[in-house]
Amino acid sequence: MRGKDLLSQLPKVPFVTAPKHLIKSIILDAVIVALAVISGILFASYLAGGKTFIWPLVSAGIFMAISVLGSLLTKDLWHRLAVIAFESVGFLLPFIGAPLNLLGTSFAVMIILLVWGEYLSREDAENSVEIRFFRVIKRPLSKMLTAIAIVAIILYVPVWNKKTVFISEATFDSIYGWSVKFAQGLYPEYKLDSDLGAFAKSVAKSQLERNINFSLLPTAIKEKTLGDLSGQVMANLSKFFGFSLDAENTFGDAVLAFANKSLTDLKGKFGPTFVTVWAIAVFVFIRGLATLFGYLVSFVSFLVYHALIAFGVIRVKTENKPHEIVEFF
């Protein structure tokens, strides 16, 4: 008994374990880097001839929504900067076969803009008494959207130089699809979503119905007049596009062919200067759409943030901090 008492008085060696918050932080960092790699893989696949842009867009949105949470949850600046470096490398990893100057430029752009956004985010968080979620993530998300848009253009320039088609059919269809739905609401009488024959006939019919005398004509004459005017509309369209049109092709096919023909002619005329101007124009267009896309990403990030709070992964607490003021002595 005395021996047991002596043993109980010996100091116990503590069992060392990693803090819970450190494990959660490492898991968040790993998820961010993994999403960066997946986004890069899907984007590289699209540049290699992928049919749809929806999956690269979705993956990039999820990646950005989770990455900006790192700005909010990672307190140590050097820790966060290391994650930014890893996620930048992860996004560019699938493009390892690209020229080194393009990869180096892309990496520098991502590092500069993401670190800049991180600094602005921390500045906003320090100057706020309470956590203003959308304000804290707004500027890092904006810089991330700009960085990805610039990197997308940089990596896509070699593809433009090799291809004769400047706008892929998949990209055009994704844009033309919702544009047609919008235009169809404004001009329901025109069949923009059908073949050129039906479109020309709808244009001719719309013009003829404005004439009161047309409704008084016999059915046979109406059909003949409609057919003649439809043929004239097709001829005018062929003259406008600069090449012969097939009535069985869609209006979208004609617009795509016209756009690629015009851009190819401009490239042949101005050479590298046109590629530079085209890249800037595409960047402005993508960045404009990214502004709208950013609201959706912010909302997704907000839902994930509150889900983490609800499941007890993170918490919000209040702390007292010294605050300097200037006053008369």
Q: What pLDDT score was predicted for residue 48?
A: 74
Q: Could you give the 3-state DSSP secondary structure of residue 77?
A: helix
Answer yes or no: do 52 and 155 share one domain.
yes
Poorest-pLDDT segment among 18-22, 46-50, 148-152: 18-22
Q: Which residues does residue 195 pair with via DSSP β-bridges, in sequence order?
A: 250
> Does 195 map to a domain?
yes
Answer yes or no: do 50 and 194 share one domain.
no
- pLDDT tops 70 at residue 304: yes
- pLDDT tops 90 at residue 165: no
Q: What pLDDT score was predicted for residue 84?
A: 93
Q: Which of 35, 160, 36 is nearest to 92 (CA)?
A: 36
Structural domain that includes position 299: 20-162+290-310
Q: For residue 94, what are its two tokens?
A: 């699938």
Q: Which of 243, 238, 161 is nearest to 199 (CA)?
A: 238
Answer yes or no: do 33 and 132 share one domain.
yes
pLDDT range class, residue 44, cuts 50, 70, 90: confident
C-alpha separations of 166 from 174, 253, 275 in Å: 15, 14, 10
> Does 123 map to a domain?
yes
> Does 241 map to a domain?
yes
Answer yes or no: do 134 and 209 share one domain.
no
Q: How many residues does the chain have?
A: 329
> Does 218 map to a domain?
yes
Answer yes or no: do 40 and 97 share one domain.
yes
Note whether 159 and 166 are within 8 A (CB): no
Contacts of 285 (CB under 8 A, 6+ apart): none
Answer yes or no: do 219 and 295 share one domain.
no
Answer yes or no: do 49 and 65 share one domain.
yes
Distance between CA atoms of residues 202 and 191, nearest Å? 6
Answer yes or no: do 70 and 187 share one domain.
no
Query: Phi and psi at residue 162, in whole multiples of 5°?
Result: -85, -30
> Does 325 map to a domain?
no
What does the buried/exposed string (b/e) look like for 52-70 if buried means 16 or more CB atoms within 10 Å of the residue's CB? ebebbbebbbbbbbbbbbb
pLDDT above 90 coverage of the chain, percent: 20
Q: What pLDDT score was predicted for residue 220?
A: 81
Answer yes or no: do 243 and 140 share one domain.
no
CA 156 from chain centre, in angstroms, equals 15
Full DSSP string of 91-112:
HHGGGTTS-HHHHHHHHHHHHH
Rank 109-118, 161-170, 249-258, 282-291 by mean pLDDT and report only the highest: 109-118
Answer yes or no: do 158 and 300 share one domain.
yes
> Does 59 map to a domain?
yes
> Does 213 map to a domain?
yes
Burial of 119 (0-12, 13-18, 19+ CB in 10 A): middle
pLDDT range class, residue 114, cuts 50, 70, 90: very high
- pLDDT tops 50 at residue 15: no
Answer yes or no: do 240 and 129 share one domain.
no
Poorest-pLDDT segment among 68-72, 106-110, 222-226: 222-226
Answer yes or no: do 153 and 180 share one domain.
no
Residue 176's CB is within 10 A of a number of other CB atoms, namely 21
Q: What pLDDT score was predicted for residue 319?
A: 63
Q: What pLDDT score was predicted for residue 159?
A: 63
> Does 321 map to a domain?
no
Cα-atom radius of gyration of the chain, to the nearest Å? Answer: 30
Q: What pLDDT score was predicted for residue 143?
A: 92
Tell me 11's DSSP state: P
Number of separate domains in the chain: 2
